[in-house]
Chains A and B, each alone.
Chain A
């Protein structure tokens, strides 16, 4: 059985390895550049409290590259979906489409034993491919994660166990779609759609709420949010007196306008102006709140998201297994 599974899926495994290798080659120049720039930032103490003189240039160089990456890297979130479409979806649909299920299921191995072998083998190929891609991407993005923290969408999506968990979920969706539809191309399309339908809400709605965010209160015009560089900032804004309602931009503009009336703008320097403004706002009960997930929750969040993916994957595979065992044609 092991031999058969390897023989049937070795093409996908080799293709995944080849694509990972190509990706590694493509990202090497950017990665080397980022590693260099990050080394400069580190030497200059640019990320600490007292940045050196050379930090401006280094930071600009870093930001330029990192900014380009912000646009490109999220596209790689399609990779788990592709694993589902190319490894999961054809697993049974190709057997049905080519009629080879009759060949496979008339050998001396029961259909369910055959199915378990196929599922486990293809699952292993998917997991190993995902690990390979994660290794390449983690290496590539680690300078960016060093500066911005890995607890950002890009850092989180391509580090640790979450990428592999998504790949396994997409694989399971693919197996289920292929079993139900029995046609390769429709199953692939449904797999990609199903992956997207689950992925977006989990990433944008659930992930920030796996644990209740921490709040940090401060002055409305404080320098920065007051949370650490590696924390995941979810929100930052002025809060009305009473500490319940966040103010919208327009509302705060109005408040600021009122405050300005009582401050003599012309005589105050910028620093004293901000101090007086803060003084006025604090006196009238205005504050600022930053909500964030602390950096030390990174692995907890990885674990929670991986568990969600793996539970859904298990459910999809169980349904596919039942379909094969109960609905022979």
Chain B
């Protein structure tokens, strides 16, 4: 169970990576449930991000995968083998800690060599691997520096090199980019993604930054109050959120409330005050007369010119607006749907926004998505 195959060199995608599975994982601290029966599966070579607000249990899950937190119930499986009881030092996972946790009394090279040293690797092999790992993160010139002499981004890359140098089957990342400024974060996101493609290992990342989750991951698991709310590819989560929480946490969203009036095979009509909304339906069809909640992304709302027609159209006045460079963020007050957030590209915007300006908003029947109200907060 403990003797995991150890590849001699960084192997191409898939062959050395491992599949990780959580089955009904729970962690309780007294009466507080930090993680509530989370089950999920990461396939070989995939990049999974655990995304959630603070206190959602994402870090606890990562620590349980790493072996630092003993779950109250459930199991952690690696390629089908139960590793729940295995101590962290025998799991052979690479990990990048929040704040990096570089050893301050060691040089960069010594830090990177540490995992190899505890594995009693010979000096020649050790030096070669350290050099290769530092090359990988482009820090070869800094091998003899101390961590305190490096910038935040460089420290982050040392932590990455240290986590990868012993060719772990699984790399765990705990908010790896949160301590960096925005521009550097974007740069390192790209590097991290390229690195994942290049070495093809399974990555499990924890973040509260939804942009980071969307841009890096193959799969995103959204957590709230210790529960797994929805898991899927970034596009699927963004385009088809299952609950109000997912739609709200991943990007921005307007929520439209109405009562189902009429249902046809692919279409339904909702009544929201005096406004009739046309909405495409997939899967389950709600019964006429029941309340419905729609999530409508701000960028899917268009400004209608003159008498231009749309599946859905509503009149309102600009209540507030902000110029963001690439676009305008408008808040439009409507009678039946409340304030609606609208993202308008600034380049050739049809109007010059000002407060009180009357506008007509329109969106197609496919633009919004029916979502569920959050059950007991999740």
A binds B: no
Q: Report which B residues bind A (CB closer than 8 A).
A: none
Q: Report which A residues bind B (CB closer than 8 A).
A: none
